[in-house]
Structure 1
Amino acid sequence: MMDAKPPVLCIVGPTATGKSDLGILVAKAVHGEVLSADSMQVYRGMDIGTAKLSKAEMEGVPHHLLDLVYPDVPFSVAEWTAEADEVIGRLHREGKLPIVVGGTGLYIRAVTEDLDFAEQPGLLAIREKWQAYALEHGPERLHEELKQRDSVTAQRLHPNDVRRVIRALEVGEATGKPMSSTYDWTLQGGRYHTALFGLTMPREALYERINLRVDKMVESGLYDEVKRLLERGYNEQNTSMQAIGYKEMVRAVHGEMALEQAIEDIKQATRRFAKRQLSWFRRDKRIEWITLDASGNLTNVDKMRILQVAEALSAGIVQTNLE
């Protein structure tokens, strides 16, 4: 029996598994709408490299939480959560099922759990100290400081991603523990009744889909998209431009790397990213995993299972509104 919390369906998993297509299929079946849970699709003008759907590809299904800010504007998970809550609340009032689709684990976590975004006492002073250090010594030295304190987090952050490097340093200093060891995976449940489906597929097939997707991005004009962003004044100092596909192509545009090498680097980085995504989501035992075949197709049994859950959630919204 469904609890009294308003329902949300989540479709998660690594990149290139067809989450977007499934989200559209479900939305059309149950009169739902899609919320993007992708930390890079919030940026305007970054379309090809983030695999944003075109209007035609959305097939008439409204999509939310896209193009929220310009690429030089910092955007936090707390801000995304506030935007998501507003959209979800409105959809519930309209009798529509919110379908959260994406591979940014912390965004999904923010929907399924009540994460605490409150600042700890003294955090501002620590942040200002490291901001001053970065200005005096530069991003490389700042990153080296993080590497000495938290090598795991340093490994996944680029030295030019100064904002997140400082965040990792301040969390470590405030808590006395490295950021990589402080994440709490205890599942408490949040403000929504959530059902989660995860898409996966054989690794070699997934990697081939990733390679083909990158090739398609390049054919669609990724190089020119990055060039336009650079011409507008955005650069590798912006967190957005550190996204996979953009940081490599920036080097190609600047002539620091051959285009062919940039493409290969994007493919490799995306494959590694998919592996990290899968590791993250595997920790959440609430996710019901659906294994696609080598061509990325769902079985009819799996498709019916997902639609049955979606219909039950949608029926719960209707019942609540009737009351």
Structure 2
Amino acid sequence: GAGTATAAGMARMSSDGGAVPVAEEPGAWGAGPPVAEEGQPLRDVVCILGQTGAGKSKLAVELALAVDGEVVNCDAMQVYEGLPIATAQIPEQEQRGVPHHMLGVVHPSSARGADNEDAGITVREFRDMALPIVEDVLARGKVPLLVGGSDYYLRALVSRALLDDQTRGGSEPAGTLDEERVEDADADADAGDDDDVSAEPTSTAAVENAQAAHDRLRAVDPASAAKIHPNNTRRVRRYLEIFDATGTPASEVFAAGVDCEMRYRCLFFAMRADDGELELALRRRVDGMVAAGLVHELERAAATTA
């Protein structure tokens, strides 16, 4: 693969939701594991993040073979069925017998709302589908390897922030939500980084729907609405999700900055690649996708979702 995972890229989640370095020795998870509410140590999961084409999938397989693990996809596009080439899902032969979950499990037609506007699987829907899988892997004595993709989706699995049901109804949010992080996640997606990018609305119905969503945001969180354009449907949706999950306007959640409560003890691998090496790897990937039948796959998908 194009990327490398160095000691600087190996980290566990700190109490404020950031990453702190851990020891390089194999199997080292850092001293003093965090403790769950019931007094039991948090269970271990591996998280692999990084640039598109940096080699996350290959690393995940190598680690899974080494630690008796199973891979849980956290890429927002690879959850869709019928698009293995377009979404760069790891081919079965490259999985080397390692179980892979959350690949091709959602029909593309579900990515459209009733008004035919591109919507995509929500973070909450993804969390509700993937979390039982992670729990099952742990219950069987295996190590879950969460591979993104989409940082926002992965964080919904490992952190209790934002989406836990007990944060509804106006109670204090149970985790750190940081405005800069939410905006960074959106910016990464808008740059084409493995996320469900929502284009500006074009049809009359889509424009009206976008305006209605922005009007609702202005009603529940005027401070956030004042700095978000109605056409930025992705961010409007993000901020409404925060309000719906917590009962608190996103602007107030960001200002509170409460401590993060983790579901698991996380070892993070951050994949980085030299720009020139990454560009070459991506060119090879695209050429391989076209040779493997990308155009036919997209035509078939368009016909089935029309």
Q: Determine if the alignment matches structure 1 residue 223 to structure 2 residue 260.
A: no
Residue-by-residue CA offset, 1:130-157 (whole Å, 9 max, x unaligned):
xxxx9994324655786x9545795xx5
Ranges in structure 1 where 5+ consecutive residues have no aligned partner: 123-133, 235-323
- Which position in structure 2 is the counterpart of 1:261? none
CA positional deviation for 1:20? 0.3
How does 1:70-89 map onto structure 2 within 5 Å?
70-74=107-111, 75-89=121-135
Q: Which has the higher helix share?
A: 1
Is the 2:67–2:143 contact (alpha carbons within 8 Å) kept by the matching residues of 1?
yes
Whether the 8 Å contact between 1:142 and 1:165 is mirrored in structure 2 is no
- Native 8 Å contact 1:112 1:189 kept in 2: no
Equivalent residue, structure 2, for 1:100: 146
How far off its partner does 1:27 sit? 0.6
Structure 1 partner of 2:62? 25
The one-letter amino acid of 2:150's match is T
- Partner SS for 1:56: helix
1:7 aligns with 2:67: no
Of 26, 42, 57, the residue aligned with 2:94 is 57
| 1:230-309 equivalences in 2 (<5 Å) | 230-234=302-306
Tell whether 2:231 aligns with 1:139: no
C-alpha displacement at 1:103, in angstroms? 1.8
Query: Unaligned stretches of 5+ in structure 2?
Result: 1-30, 34-40, 112-120, 171-200, 215-224
Q: Taking structure 1 as reference, are residues 6 and 57 closer, same or farther at Cα in structure 2, changes over 3 Å only?
A: same
| DSSP 3-state at the match of 1:138 | helix
User: What residue in structure 2 maps to residue 35 of structure 1?
Assistant: 72
- Equivalent position SS for 1:8: strand
Distance in 2 between the 1:72 and 1:165 partners? Answer: 22
Deviations, residues 75-99 of structure 1 (Å, cap 9, x unaligned): 2212222232212221222111111
Q: Structure 2 counterpart of 1:104, which letter?
A: S
Structure 1 counterpart of 2:71, which letter?
A: V
CA distance in 2, matches of 1:19, 1:47: 16
Partner of 2:189: none
Coordinate RMSD, CA, aligned: 3.6
Partner of 1:45: 82
Which string of whole-angstrom CA distances, capped at 9 and with x for unpartnered residues, describes residues 239-271 of structure 1? Answer: xxxxxxxxxxxxxxxxxxxxxxxxxxxxxxxxx
Q: Which amino acid aligns with 1:195?
A: L
CA distance in 1, matches of 2:255, 2:85: 32
Q: Secondary structure at the match of 1:194?
A: strand
SS class of match (2:267):
strand
Residue matched to 2:283: 211
> Does residue 167 of structure 1 match 2:237?
yes
Give the TM-score, by structure 1 length: 0.56
Contact 2:162 2:242 in 1 (8 A): no
Q: Identity of paired residues, percent?
A: 29
Aligned to 2:264: 192
| Number of equivalenced pairs | 214
Take 1:103 and 1:227, find their aligned partners in 2: how far apart are those partners?
24
- Retained in 2: the 8 A contact 1:33–1:97? yes
**Which residue of structure 1 aligns with residue 173 of structure 2?**
none
| Structure 1: distance between partners of 2:257 and 2:293 | 40
Counterpart in the other structure of 2:188: none
